[in-house]
Amino acid sequence: MKEKSDINVLYVDDEIKNLESFKATFRRDFNVYTALSANDAETILETHDDIHVIVSDQRMPGKLGTEFLEEAVSNYPNQTGILLTAFGDDREVVEAEKKKFIYRAVEKPWNEELLKEYIEEGYDIYQKLAQRSLKK
């Protein structure tokens, strides 16, 4: 089991109640950062170089979660993306999984234990990628 202080998670959702729920659910397990939009999330990523796992809603105004995660992975290749969606077979979601922009797609409403497990797995992946980057 990882220590809370080891795992930094950014959760992106355009609904404030979802942000509050996520933070209340996972604040004891992880350091949780929240953003109301992809633009707000990009600002957090620019100022916090220690975000390990990004959890993003798919349907947001301005930018889809898959678009945001594709850009985030391009700019910060060690981070792991998890997408929350009500539409698991959505074309954009399937394409993002194929292209490895997201580690997992999780259908809403999310299961707390399963999502926690995916975040911890995402952190493990982050660590492996970061070690590979150091060796290059």
Please, which pLDDT band fits residue 5 given cuts at 50, 70 and 90? low
CATH number at residue 23: 3.40.50.2300
Residue 31 burial by Cβ neighbours in a 10 Å radius (0-12, 13-18, 19+): middle
pLDDT digits (tens, 9 = 90+) for 10-27: 999 999 999 999 999 999
**pLDDT for 3 beyond 60:** no
**pLDDT for 4 beyond 70:** no
pTM of the model: 0.91
Of 31, 26, 30, 61, residue with least CA distance to 48: 31
Task: State the pLDDT at residue 89.
Answer: 62
When pLDDT is averaged across residues 71-83 and rounded to a whole number, the result is 92
How many domains are contained in the chain? 1
Please, which pLDDT band fits residue 48 given cuts at 50, 70 and 90? very high
Of 129, 132, 44, 27, residue with least CA distance to 54: 44
Structural domain including 58 reads: 4-135
